[in-house]
Structure 1
Amino acid sequence: MTFAAFSQVSHLAVATIYLVILVLALRKRGVSDFVSRLLDFYLILAIFWELIFFSQQTISHTLTLPTLFVLHLPYYGLFLLAFIFLNLSAALLRSKALHWGLWLISLIWLSFVLILDFNWFFLPDTIWQNSTTVINRSNLAFAALILGWGICSIASTWVTFKVYRQTDRRVVKHRITYWTIGLILTFAGGLFVLGLIYLAGSLLLLLGAAMAYYIISVHRLPDLRVIARRIVSGLLVGVLELVIYTAGFWVLQNYFTGITGYSPLLAGAILAFVLLVLFNPLLRLIQKWVNQLLFGSLVDINRILREYSQSISNILDLGMLSTVAVGLINEALEVQSGALFTVDSEFGDDGVRRYRLKGVPAMGNSTPINAQIPLDSPIAKKLGDDRSPLMQSEIDVLPEFRFLTAQERSWLNSQEMDVYVPIHTKDDWVGIFALGPKSSGASYFDNDLDLLNTLANQTAVALQNARLVGSLVRINNEFRRAYSSMEEAHAKLERIDRTKSDFISIASHELRTPLTVLSGYSQMLMDDPTFSENAYYSKVIAGIYDGTSRLHEIVDSMLDVAKIDTRALELQSEPVHLHVLLNNVCQGFSKAFQERGLILDFDQFNNFPPVQGDPEALKKVFYHLVMNAIKYTPDGGKITVAGYLVEKGAGRYPPGGVEVVVSDTGIGIDPRFKDLIFTKFYQTGELALHSSGKTKFKGGGPGLGLAIVRGIVQAHGGRVWADSPGYDEEKNPGSHFHVILPTSSDARVLPPGEISV
């Protein structure tokens, strides 16, 4: 085979390899659609360029093309490849394409060369000459193509160098280092083509294209330091084994040849087998020495995991956990910065569920910036759903991260981290380790990510415990603040209540004297014949007397409440016959019963033993209960006063006694307010809707009656409560007021200091 035939076959093979790379590139998209399309265009152009070398003579014989154009076809391709590579450099490294003006200049440049080659303007072959210099049309076209190639190559180098100088991110610098290798291969290939060494130039350009494809399609590039470490270790092991084999074979040949049955072939095979067995131990030993001497020591994973687990197992403070965990990772991998983020799922202000990332300071005093990530974000899918570490290089390269929101990109740029490692419990995503670049400038490799995943798994339980403790501390602090506020409010209410009680006591005392004078004079006028014989004056004086009596009654109620509030209620305890007391009370309301058409069903209490108590105080109890029943029972209703004997040991009143129940067929009581009605000044309904008469239906009053009832009954050591099916002014379910009083003289009557309203 002649060299020309070999060259043609080689170019065809190179074109086939370009085609394979193109198919792979079409199947696996890289950084972005634009960069991938540029790479596809570059590979297609390279295929046609190689085919030009393969069939250049065929083209010149079969196609009627100008000879100059056919001769310059390889350089057209070289210029176009350099220009596309310049666009690839700009799009990949600067994340934007070249300005349209540069495309226009390139098009004009290419048109200029085509005009010269096709001679569309009928230019002479010699365009310009003097005594020393001749410029031919052919040379000018060739020079323009070479100059264009040189400018594009220099521009690619300038773009690469500029981006490397401007960026501080080691991940980007690492990718630029790889791109520089591809750039050097491409430039060297162009130089070989210009030197007419076409096959070598094609192979170098192929290697440059393969490097570009690898850089664009692979998001996690291996560290060149690791590659260098492996190469150095392999070379050293190879040299060492060669030395050992040579020395061993020399020893065998010089000292064992006299032994009967010695075979050099067998000795060499045994020696080779021994070296084969020793290869892996020697490789590990050499790698360890290379790491220590040239690249630093290797990471002892078992020691790191053991120390990490022991250090964080008992930490319950979130800030301390972040500092210790990231600090240990820094010691192991020598990272420059790091932070811990807690992750919570919550609804935002717009009602959309998001992940809330809250930063916890670790290395340094600054608090990491918080963020909110949508549930459908690629970041959430990678870290939350896939439970996989996320490299910044993946965010820069992979197409799915092109659609991150502006807030997400702003947050990622503010972090300046190289890797994000999720922390998961069995069911939930609870945190993230965000780690910056390594101090050595090396990238994070698969073994580093595996180690970080293991550390994150160990951190999950400690992080969950720290968060729970933090929540408990926060709840406890909130409870203390709430309790303190409640105590302040309670003290304020007590002061208000005490002030109100003081006002009631003072006002009632001050009102009692003029009321007594007013009542006395009104009685004198009623007894005076001059006024009693006059119907008009008699009615007016009777109204004054009734109003004075009611006001006197209200003042007495206020005084009773004041005594109960100030623990000054004193009882004169003696046996009290309930049938006499209740009969007197009911007789006092006979006029109200008649006016309202109410029916009184009164049990006889003759068979009940007397109760132990103060007659006047107990009279007030049943006076208020009966009056209350009259006020809230519609006209024509029924009021029942019934009695029951309570045996000792009964659940509702163990000491035993007599139970008096005042029932009515009135509007009833809302179950929610059965206890509230016994407080001071409580009124049912709206005050403006109450009538003014004390025995009128829903008549008005100061709201002190039931409070006095409870205070007096408690002072007797008894019990009072209310029952009702509910409140209904149409169906009138009625209500029942129960009063239990002790019967024996042994019943404990509370001293004034133990009574409360």
Structure 2
Amino acid sequence: MSSLIAIAVGLAYIALMGSAWRFRESAGSSIMSWLLATLSIAALTSVIGIVPRDTDILGVSHLGQPALAVYAASLLLIIYSALTAAFLQQPRAIRLWSALGGVWWIAVVILSLVDGNASLAAETWISAIGENPHAAGLLAIAGWLALSGVLLISIFEKFYTARLPELANQALFWGVVTPLPLLGAIMGASSVAFLRETGWIIQLVGLASVTYGVISLRVVDVRETLRIATVNISLMLVTVIAVLVALLVAEEIEAEANRVVVLAGVALATAAIHAPIYAVSNAFANRVILRTTDDLATEINQFTQAITGVFELSEVTDVMIQTLRDVLRLKRSSVLLISPLEDGAFEIEPYQPKHSANNATMPRGHLTADSPIYQRLFEQREVLLQYDLDYKPEYTAVDPTTRNFFKQLHLAAYAPIVVQGQLIALLACGPKLNDTPFSERELATLKTLANQAGIALRNARLVSDLRTREHDIAESNRRLEAAKRQLEALDAVKTDFITIASHELRTPLAQIRGHTDIIDAMNEQGMLDQDQLYGLTTNLRKAADRLESLIGDMLDVSQLDLSAMDLRFVEASIENVVRMAIEPLQESIRNRRQSLTARGLRGLPPIQADMQRLVQAIRNVVLNAVKFTPDSGRIEITGRMLTDQQTGQQQVQITISDSGIGIDKQNQEAIFQKFFRIGDPGLHSTGATKFMGAGPGLGLTIAQGVIQGHGGRIWAESDGYDPEKLPGSTFYIVLPLQPPVGERRVMSFRLAGEASPPDTDEVRPTQPKKPEGLADRVQPNSDQEPPAEEDEVFEETNPTVFNPSASRAGLTAAALAAAQEQSEHGLESAHPPGDKTPPDEPPEN
């Protein structure tokens, strides 16, 4: 009898292998290989059952039929574990099961053959293992228990962590059927014929279910099947109880003439009582166990009424989302808006209300008309499941970007909303509250809701688009108004500039013409002597210098606009740069009884800079402080090292502060714009250093352009504008020790005869903007050595007029010569008239 059952089971395994081979392409080669291997080993176990149990294989007493059954059962458990890992999509676990299981199986075989006490060949070795323990038997049983336990734990761990309900249902299905092949394999190694034959049958049923799970894309819903079975059993019990009660009552009725009538009355009463009890039980079971609703039509009708006449897109989507959650009992749901693009594709945008608590930017996807997704949603008008998108073969050609977009949404089903032949949105569902897959009834409900919402959603989108266009038009009008005001302000600035420029140009021209007329008249009369000629030519030179300076500023600003200002970098000392910047201003500072001090400059390391341009920039900032600081005011220049926390780059910060009239907060960025001036241009003063004698409004613009050309930053800070309280202002200049490679407009300055370096990329100056969060980006360098003297007060020794518009070669040579000449000397002290402060002590301002 056992041989017949073994043969039948073996033939059944061959049939299962044939069915699995037919679906090898759809299931995948990896998992199909493990399935065929599992079925082959299972068929081998049935073949081993045909061998007589007292046969010694190859004449080895320890290698009998029971030992072969143990070997086959152990090998089956290993192969089935690898099959489980492949089914659960755990490639690393496949290698782990194979390696550990292989070692364990080989150890069992070797111990059973080597150990003389091993009795795996005995029919009763399992029952006798307690009385006669041996290593091979203990290792085999321990391996069976360990493999079974770890396998079941990994299956249910996958069930709880699956991202899709279909994957969770597959894991649950595998967990339900897995005990069958495990138990069948162990029972097949038993010495009891009944247990052994029962184990073969149980193993066959289990592996048949496993084969169904592998070759089927979607397995039966285990939890729904259990609920239906529970309901049917419960209703059957209600009927059984009613019939049983009727039979018990019928037994008590005596055999009388009217017994038939009494029995009929009992049957009628039983049916009358059973009918309502059955109805109530059925309704209770459907509501509690199956969780179905009988008022679906009512809810859909209420949904239609709720969205009718609503034109706010947020309200329509809120009603749709809430209805979906209530009807299908979802964890989450969403509406994906679809808009056509110019190239024929479609953009998918998850709708997010403007006042949503989640302010994270939602991803956007794209869909083409030839995509299988579009064909499913638009042409077939069917619901698309995320599980099908991930695992069905017809969706393998979907663009990876589109596939990742849908995966990032963490949704489970998408129903198309089509209106007048256009796909306008998708009604999307997340997992259900009980994490079960969607049934056909639920997918039909989702499709119905999508069809009902089409008209309302289209109207709401039209209203939303109209409001968006109105907002865009209003925003465009606002920008046009702002541009108009800016153009009017620019026109006013140009008018003021013409006024100022004409005055600036007319004054030196009038001086030149007046002095030339005097020279001509005195020459005709023969009254021109050497001293008079020297005085007149000196005045002519000053007027020409003033005119040339103004024209040079205009040319510099034009170079900044065209990004054409070249910078030639040499090693420069900050101390010498500041000294050369303020030397031409010393006489004006002394005449106005102002105090100028400098601190912390000697300890600063040299930087790579264009000497001429950097001197010009710092002079313009200091000149601005001189002009807007009243007489007897003070100006302070300080320097220190900083470290950029983002790049770790060493930087030099120069701070120029004054006790002047201050700067309005709204003008602290505007002062770096060209032609910007504070005050009425009609009150313009020609004096270069007179109090509030504003020039043409180009100095700070040039300073900013030069500093940005060095890879640095400049900005101003002040508590406000007040000519009476004099809050003062502070200008910050930050320069890197080495300008970034991209900031170098030309290569470093080179001597005659040196090879020309390769051209570097051109960098255009950025727009003036105060750095945000500079206090967080830069920190004082604690390693900086303190300066030799606490205060360094500049003194004018041999004033030299430094003209920014002079020739570059001459100025560069002069700068290098001045730096070399004064490199061994410290900064000497000079004070306004009447100041008695010693040179080595800080002045009292």
Question: Which TM class, normalised by the smaller chain length?
Answer: 0.5 to 0.7
Distance in 2, matches of 1:181 and 1:491, equals 76
1:447 matched to 2:441? The reply is yes
Distance in 2, matches of 1:134 and 1:46, equals 25
SS of 1:314's equivalent in the other structure is: coil
Q: 1:358 aligns with which of 333, 338, 349?
A: 349
> Structure 1 159/395 Cα, relative in aligned 2: closer, same or farther at 3 Å?
farther
Distance in 2, matches of 1:252 and 1:441, equals 49
Task: Give the structure 2 partner of residue 423 of structure 1.
Answer: 417
CA contact (8 A) 1:78 1:190 kept: yes
Distance in 2, matches of 1:322 and 1:58, equals 72
1:68 to partner: Cα distance = 4.0
> Structure 1 75/395 Cα, relative in aligned 2: closer, same or farther at 3 Å?
farther
> Structure 1 127/82 Cα, relative in aligned 2: closer, same or farther at 3 Å?
closer
1 or 2, which has the higher helix percentage?
1
Between 449-458 and 279-288, report the one with greater CA deviation.
Answer: 279-288
The letter of the residue matching 1:445 is: S
Distance in 2, matches of 1:150 and 1:283, equals 45
1:331 matched to 2:326? The reply is yes
Give the alignment of 1:650-669 within 5 angstroms.
Answer: none
> Structure 1 181/241 Cα, relative in aligned 2: closer, same or farther at 3 Å?
same
SS of 1:416's equivalent in the other structure is: coil
CA contact (8 A) 1:18 1:206 kept: yes
1:40 matched to 2:36? The reply is yes
SS of 1:57's equivalent in the other structure is: coil
Give the alignment of 1:319-468 within 5 angstroms.
Answer: 319-346=314-341, 354-361=345-352, 365-366=357-358, 368-375=362-369, 377-395=371-389, 397-400=391-394, 406-425=400-419, 427-468=421-462
* Unmatched 5+ stretches in structure 1: 498-757
Give the alignment of 1:204-219 within 5 angstroms.
Answer: 204-219=202-217
Give the alignment of 1:15-164 within 5 angstroms.
Answer: 15-28=10-23, 32-53=28-49, 55-57=50-52, 66=60, 68-71=62-65, 72-98=67-93, 100=95, 103-112=98-107, 125=116, 143-164=138-159
> Structure 1 416/64 Cα, relative in aligned 2: closer, same or farther at 3 Å?
same
1:49 to partner: Cα distance = 2.3
Distance in 1, matches of 2:441 and 2:381, equals 17
Summarize deviations over 1:3-36 as a string: whole Å, max 9, x none.
xx1x332333333333343333333466543223
Distance in 2, matches of 1:134 and 1:335, equals 54
1:79 to partner: Cα distance = 1.6
The letter of the residue matching 2:239 is: E
1:174 matched to 2:172? The reply is no
Distance in 1, matches of 2:258 and 2:294, equals 52
SS of 1:463's equivalent in the other structure is: helix
Identity between Structure 1 and Structure 2 (%)? 20
1:186 matched to 2:181? The reply is yes
Give the alignment of 1:519-530 within 5 angstroms.
Answer: none
> Structure 1 381/257 Cα, relative in aligned 2: closer, same or farther at 3 Å?
farther
Distance in 2, matches of 1:95 and 1:364, equals 38
Task: Give the structure 2 partner of residue 240 of structure 1.
Answer: 238
SS of 2:462's equivalent in the other structure is: helix
Q: 1:226 aligns with which of 214, 224, 227?
A: 224
Distance in 2, matches of 1:206 and 1:395, equals 33
> Structure 1 385/111 Cα, relative in aligned 2: closer, same or farther at 3 Å?
farther
SS of 2:381's equivalent in the other structure is: coil
SS of 2:414's equivalent in the other structure is: strand
CA contact (8 A) 1:343 1:429 kept: yes
> Structure 1 305/257 Cα, relative in aligned 2: closer, same or farther at 3 Å?
farther
The letter of the residue matching 1:212 is: V
Q: Which has the larger radius of gyration?
A: 1
Aligned length: 477
Distance in 1, matches of 2:54 and 2:395, equals 46
Distance in 2, matches of 1:67 and 1:271, equals 70
SS of 1:91's equivalent in the other structure is: helix
The letter of the residue matching 1:322 is: T
Report the RMSD for the aligned CA atoms in angstroms.
4.7
Distance in 1, matches of 2:101 and 2:489, equals 91
CA contact (8 A) 2:312 2:460 kept: yes
> Structure 1 287/188 Cα, relative in aligned 2: closer, same or farther at 3 Å?
farther
SS of 2:416's equivalent in the other structure is: strand
* Unmatched 5+ stretches in structure 2: 120-127, 492-845
Give the alignment of 1:542-621 within 5 angstroms.
Answer: none
CA contact (8 A) 1:220 1:393 kept: no
Distance in 2, matches of 1:116 and 1:212, equals 32
1:305 to partner: Cα distance = 1.1
CA contact (8 A) 1:252 1:267 kept: no
CA contact (8 A) 1:395 1:401 kept: yes
> Structure 1 235/114 Cα, relative in aligned 2: closer, same or farther at 3 Å?
closer
1:396 to partner: Cα distance = 5.1
> Structure 1 454/21 Cα, relative in aligned 2: closer, same or farther at 3 Å?
farther
The letter of the residue matching 1:359 is: P
Distance in 2, matches of 1:177 and 1:193, equals 25
CA contact (8 A) 1:175 1:215 kept: yes
Q: Normalization by structure 1: what TM-score?
A: 0.53
1:472 matched to 2:466? The reply is yes
1:417 to partner: Cα distance = 2.0
Give the alignment of 1:245-256 within 5 angstroms.
Answer: 245-249=243-247
1:52 to partner: Cα distance = 2.6
